[in-house]
Structure 1
């Protein structure tokens, strides 16, 4: 299973790099769905994750006083290039890396799936992760809180993917693409309009976001 997940990570990194290759400077500077980070910073963060060994992670966290935001800010600045093109080139260089801060391979697949969509969705790009990649992340996210409170966000809900095999939980139903379910568990309110079912109101209360519009009445 680990080899499969590593292969998916490499595939998703390469696909993201290709999708972002033609961006303008304004698009690189656009806010992503990850609060406080522009698109270029998201890519630099992914480069950092692909070069972070457990020892490097511990040292960086120690120097940051075990403040994840400080750690992330420093490492993102370290891996950001002098230009967006340089930042993207650095990301491409590590696209086949097998280095990670820990052995939680599904979590690092989640990094590129979630942050990739943080960038793509903010820019209005229609592409996204494969259903297979999103399914592996969904299964991991619903099972535990790791980096994001995904299991807590999903607790007491019945999640049903409309494009793949993923289902989990019991309770009010939340239906949508596997990718949208992953992003919702990761706390991205922007995907709430893509979901339906009585459980969407519960998710909205947990992760924030606007109320349902006229086309989303079944989610209320």
Structure 2
């Protein structure tokens, strides 16, 4: 899959998230997300910051914050919050078609928007029917990589199998973890609430590592 196709998936997920955010009321914007340190509004600002942070600015920020990546993320997030949630959403909308990114693969950016989209939707009871091709690409990336999240480490020695799509991977003789592709992705991303949607001898291991 080429980068242009991956960017198309990123843009589609950003657009879908922006559409879902448009109807939120004040309390929902202030609600906690599955990314436990952030509110819904802060997760949106974090996504905007990532869409505006190229390699040069990323490295400058790393140096400025003495390689404290959490401090850099907090600084960039604060830049994109705006004065209220209307401005937060407006800034995110302007980033939908951006192809600016830090020095990570485009698949990592796709994973970020899917995972953080769920971080927002799940607590608010919002459902998205993700294209299975999008979810499959994220799952394929996550089970092989620890860049941005330690997802490969969480699945090491396990055999993964999606029940709703073509994704499978991991150790051929490992303990099975089976479930929907989205649940597998979120478990790999360290979201323990999705463990109940997984079955198989290895399901407890991946849930415990989240």
Q: TM-score, normalised by structure 1?
A: 0.91
> In structure 1, the residue corresponding to 2:143 is in which secondary structure?
helix
Contact 2:187 2:207 in 1 (8 A): no
Contact 2:144 2:152 in 1 (8 A): yes
Contact 1:120 1:128 in 2 (8 A): no
Gaps of 5+ in 2: none
Mapped contact 1:54–1:102 kept (Cα < 8 A): yes
Cα drift, residue 189 of structure 1: 0.5
2:93 aligned partner: 92
CA RMSD of aligned residues (A): 1.0
Q: Which consecutive aligned stretches of 4+ in structure 1 deviate over 4 angstroms post-superposition?
A: none
The residue aligned with 1:120 is 121
- The answer (yes or no) to whether the contact 2:81–2:88 under 8 Å persists in 1 is yes
- For 2:50 and 2:142, how far apart are their aligned partners in 1? 18
**Equivalences, count:** 207
Q: Give CA deviations for 1:86-113 in whole Å, capped at 9, x if unaligned.
A: 1011100010001111251100011101
CA displacement at 1:205 relative to structure 2: 2.4
Distance 1:103 1:33 in 2: 23
Q: Which residue of 2 aligns with 1:76?
A: 77
Task: Please report how far the alpha carbon of residue 147 of structure 1 lies from its aligned counterpart in structure 2 after TM superposition.
Answer: 1.2
> After alignment, is 7-16 or 189-198 more displaced?
189-198
CA distance in structure 2 between the partners assigned to 1:204 and 1:115 by the alignment: 18
Task: Provide structure 1 residue ranges, at least 5 long, that are not aligned to the other structure.
Answer: 208-220
Q: Quote the residue 1:187 is aligned against.
A: 190
Distance 1:47 1:154 in 2: 29
Task: Give the drift of 1:16.
Answer: 0.5
In structure 2, C-alpha distance between the alignment counterparts of 1:205 and 1:101, rounded to whole Å: 30
1:152 shift after superposition: 0.2
| Alignment deviations for residues 44-87 of structure 1 (CA, whole Å, 9 cap, x no partner) | 00000100000000011111111111011110000012111110
* TM-score where L is the length of structure 2: 0.96
1:71-220 equivalences under 5 Å are: 71-170=72-171, 171-207=174-210
- Residue 129 of structure 1 deviates from its aligned partner by 3.1
Equivalent residue number for residue 218 of structure 1: none
Paired with 1:76 and 1:158, the residues of 2 have a C-alpha distance of: 36
Q: Offset of 1:144 from its aligned partner?
A: 1.3
Aligned equivalents of 2:116, 2:176: Cα separation in 1: 25
1:53–1:100 contact (8 Å) kept in structure 2: yes
The offset of 1:169, in angstroms, is 1.4
SS of 2:161's equivalent in the other structure is strand
Partner SS for 1:87: helix
